[in-house]
A and B are shown apart, each in its own frame.
Chain A
Amino acid sequence: MYNSLSSRRNFIKKMAQLSAMTAAAAMFPGILFASEQEAGIPNSANLDWKKGPCRFCGVGCGILVGTENGKAVAVKGDPNCSVNKGLLCVKGYHQTMCIQSKDRLTHALVKKNGKYVKTPLNEALDIVANKMKSTIEAHGKDSVAMYTSGQSTIPEGYVASKLMKGAIGTNNLDCNARLCMASAVAGFLTTFGADEPMGCYEDIDHADYFITWGNNMAEMHPVLFSRMLEQKTRRGAKIIDFATRTSRSSTASDRSILFEPQTDLAVANAICYEIINNGWVNKSFVEKHCNFSKGLTNIGYGTEDKFNFKDKPEKIDFAAFKAFLNDYTPEKVEKYSKVSAKDIKYLASIYGDPNKKVVSYWCMGMNQHTRGTWMNNLVYNIHLLTGKISQPGNGPFSLTGQPSACGTAREVGTFTHKLPKGVVMNPKHRALAAKIWKVPVERIPAKPTYHATEMFRAVDRGDIKFIWTQVTNPLVSLPKTSRYRPAMEKDSCFVVVSDVFPTPTSDVADVILPASWHIEKSGLYGNSERRTQHWDKMVEGPGETTPDAWMTIEVAKRMGYGDLFPYSEENHVEEIYNEYRQFHEGAKHGMAPLEVLKKESGAIWPYVNGKSTQWRFNAKYDPACKEGSDFDFYGKPDGKAVIWQRPYEPAAESPDAEYPFWLNTGRVIEHWHTGSMTRRIPVLHKAMPEAYIEFHPDDAKALKIRDGENIKVTSRRGSCVLPASVNKRGLPTRGQVFVPFFDENMLINDVTLDAFCPISKEPDYKKCAVKVEKA
């Protein structure tokens, strides 16, 4: 396809085509053009098609990459992959075009006298290892840190964890999935005692209603959204969009219901109130399978350094829970949520109807929330009260953003408190890790250290003196980069950045390591539906580019831990996966063997007796359930899930006289996160060349702001100038502005607030107070 783009005319044709497709996408959210994928594929008999997962989002579509003479020349959807059945979104079928970007990092760069000097990789790895070692010698093992990614492959995450926790003996490892999935994890653990969704994408084929909670799936999970639209057309399934902003998803839904930021907590409680007061509770399910608990309230926002919080769960009974909900009648909640009592009752009636199957979907709206864990708990409450869970077409489904936030960050456990199985606080889990890693158990510390935000605060304070980031761009994606950019520039911390392209994060690095891109290495990802996906290396990377896993291993060897990393360069992916699988052996989390993953387009864990488990906790589908049970929430010792009493509490910062607008940030369909890849794909970059600030037309009119005019948006943290967008892609509610964060030239995270959920430690990127003025 790239040959055809080489001439200007063909490029212009492609642009014309893409403009039309983008226009179509505005009219028909979720629209797909499968034949377009085939259009540019050269008529060559020599194309060799290799399967893998898409590089970008957590949907985990199967792709086929056509290679010819060692180059990737085409991408199409894998018709054999049940996730996407041959479909891909616009990012998916253009993905490999970034590899050829002219500014690709092909060699290691070491900063000498303020200038980057091209350095042989071996030398650069020596420098990294020596620096890490000498820092530990001088300042202790907790002075070094690694910050990885939900886009790291499973082997990459695994060796990072083994190096930090098993070899060095520090829990200073966290990852960017903290910024997107930590509340989902904490929600799962508090309610079910086991992470990740119980259902799978096949739920879409069975549900009567899809209720999306603060989730613009048409742009963020486009292939799943198109599957939902198909069911809407074919079977009359209904989509209800519950959000703070009218998006492409809202316009394609049957109903769009808008709420005031943060009041989703109150609305979810009001839905439970209605369910109980209308007698819609599935009593036998609740009696058999649920406990009731409450936790601490007024739990803070984490905006101060070294913030500490530990919840204190306390058992309550159904009567207490019912009494608590009296504060959340629809009539009371409508006053501050701006959702009419009628709409709240409508939502409750959908969940309450025993003859309707309902799936709830959410992603960043609920997770990036200062009460994100609570919000996840509350949606589980609704499904547990009605018994609509763990059955085809009935269930709560937390979607992931990144392609391996589940597979790597959550399952391998690249968080400070995690191990590949379980948590560092649990002596049994430490013992298992020590046994498999062949290290003394005392070496693995029992206390978590820094979660993502606190890790960069520690860099700023000078407590962390060495940090190595892999597959992530924190100086665009962290909240309040206005603090963390100067922090990373300080001489007190030695910064190593592994990446494929230069980014604002690599700009502050002391050493830049040239990483292999997705198809230039073998790897494994795990998507939102617990599907583990493998791919083989498809093309050679340029220069000295090397897989991150191998660079970590090389540094470990240089630091003297060679015996713990006995892998071979050719087969390290396979060897690491086989070692890692031992952690999850058993019916509750068994992973498919590599031979299966090589043949199939992924397999869903628990993989038991040669079969994927599609619905966990339901004895009909899940062999891990206790014999004789119908449902068994076996993550909890007594097999019962927890219905949590969680109140509404306000946001960390709300609009006031000085800063009168809510700022909400997010993504657009054309770009992947901080744009470091998609902004190097010409058609995607041209389709969405720069960020913008979106206004409600009434606010724009009152402020005399015209579309395209430059606007300065300012918070207590910093400011950013962007062109105004009025009546274009999305429509924020009055009093709210929306800014996408993909554009490194318009750093909206200089403006955002680093408040987080005290339980999950995930920051809230959706709510802070700003003022706007013409620039």
Chain B
Amino acid sequence: MTLPVATNSIGRDTWTVFARAMRLSLRNPAWVVIGLTQPVLYILLFGPLLEPLSGQLGSGNAYQVFVPGILVQLGIFGALFVGFGLIAEWRAGVVESQRVTPASRTALLLGRVLRDVVVLLVQGTVLVLVSIPLGLRAPVLGVVLALLVVALLGAAFSAVSYALALTLKSEDAFAPLLNAVVLPVLLLSGILLPMTLAPGWLQAVSDVNPLKHVVDGVRSLFDGSYTSATAWWGLGLTLAMAALGWWFGVRRFRRESG
């Protein structure tokens, strides 16, 4: 019996899974393009509506308020939908065929999540570049930090999405679950308009939504207020969500797939 030399490591396995996932994404870029079109449409078709409101928004530039919201939206909702791809892979037998190898279970998740993060970063960069000719003004450091937040959020939500997909194993169960979560979270996060415009009761409700604070944090990064409490709250909550999402995802991938 010949045995292959045992050279599995979590880093190498992650790279194999990442490279495979990336290759498949690039071969069928429709989803990447669709995922990008939506935020760009928001910027192009919704952004101009905000320009007359600039005064009420507090800062001088509507896009400085709006682009961070759309970035966070991209990070969360782009990532939440990746589970659909895993359900398709599970059905094709790919998940099982990977799980029967000695590869690290964590790597099977991490490689996929990294692919999603790279896709998100490309989308986020395009989004920022598109907004500049429309009037976005923001410090480079702020934008870079904002993209870092998007990457962390994306990693958290894509890990959660994969874990849920592997548990539910059916688009018919996964889609309603996402829809039930996405809309209220979206409306209560001030992604489209800052919650400062909202009446008191609505503000109070949105205060318990961590994503609202993340959006506010990213807005202050775009503002250049790196040391403000808002910025730190946003970053701190992002790290907490990333840790939680990662824990949830890894736990699911270590269990049997059922």
Q: Judge: A and B partners, yes or no.
A: no
Residues of A within 8 A of B (CB): none
Residues of B within 8 A of A (CB): none
